[in-house]
Amino acid sequence: MSWYRNTVWFVKGLREYTRGGYESASKHFNPADVEVDVAGRSFLVTGANSGIGKATAKEIARRGGTVHLVCRNKERAEVAKEEIVTETGNQNIFLHIVDISNPKEIWKFAEKFQNEHKLNVLINNAGCMVNNRELTEDGLEKNFATNTLGTYIMTTALMPLLEKAADARVITVSSGGMLVQKLNIADLQSGHGPFDGTMVYAQNKRQQVVLTEQWAKAHRNIHFSVMHPGWADTPAVRSSMPDFYERMKNSLRTEAQGADTVLWLAVSAEATKLPSGLFFQDRQPVPTHLPLAYTHSPPEDEEKLMELLEEFSQKFKSVSPG
């Protein structure tokens, strides 16, 4: 059935995920939803030095929010911070250098952050698509370490801070590519069979959808959401999917268009009127499975994913410095 899923997803993408799809959907947006003042609220954005993360951080900064940029590369992050401060006039922009593929670094960062800051909204945007199987220094497959385990640890480590906050939210930037994948908990690190970076990424993005649904059930005081930004022209797409980029570059969304729903989920009052745990595209909840795609998983597999990630998480917490 994979050929069916891939074909249906691509056809859907051509219709909805491109710039034309955004322009069509945005005719129904209410601009007032995001014309809000968020001064006094604290936002943390991972992967914030480029692409959708930077576009989101900039728009939050324009609205007066305190923004914490969590980035891996110090030089690029400093350039992004300066750009955001200059363009928005907002001085409450803070920079934290953290490699989201390194669990020990995330734990160390989260412990320090909780002692020094408050947090209202966490935006899990950092991600990667490594097309050949690479291991981190901890022996973790890099896509899994960044997209799934990194997202899991960052969120769970900051959960106590979020639980204390007013109108707390967690938004995770996923991908419509997850629609072609059924949750696979038997091979989380893609060590069996041929390695296809695009499909590994899609599997990680399916895992993020499951994480969001599970967190929403367990933490009623926090509003969780996961979203697909559409096909946007970002540095990550250019470097990780050069063939796709060349074929689609004239139809791709801008970074700001890709970030629009992230911003809406982060700042609008309308977003939290909808149930926690949903998957969004262009400010609307959308299904997490294609028709007839057979990508549904039994509840025990979804619960097992959470157990396995918690085991990984605690293993690295026990050796974290500090």
C-alpha distance from residue 300 to each of 11, 38, 156, 212, 296 (Å): 32, 39, 20, 16, 12
Bridge partners (DSSP) of residue 168 are 222
Residue 178 burial (10 A CB sphere; 0-12, 13-18, 19+): buried
Strand order in the sheet with 222-227: 93-97, 66-71, 42-46, 121-124, 168-173, 222-227, 278-281, 284-285
Bridge partners (DSSP) of residue 281 are 284
Active centre residues (catalytic): 201
Given a contact cutoff of 8 angstroms between Cβ atoms, the answer to whether 94 and 69 are in contact is yes
The HSE-up count of residue 125 (CA atoms within 13 Å, CB side) is: 33
Task: Give the integer Cα–Cα distance in Å for 78 and 48.
Answer: 11
- Give the closest residue to 129 by CA, choosing from 175, 85, 165, 86: 175
| Greatest C-alpha distance within the chain | 52
Task: State whether residue 223 is helix, strand or coil.
Answer: strand
C-alpha distance from residue 60 to each of 57, 107, 265 (Å): 5, 25, 11
CA pseudo-torsion sign 196, 183, 14, 49: negative
Given a contact cutoff of 8 angstroms between Cβ atoms, the answer to whether 94 and 68 are in contact is yes
- In the chain, what is the straight-line distance between the N-terminal and C-terminal CA atoms, in Å? 49
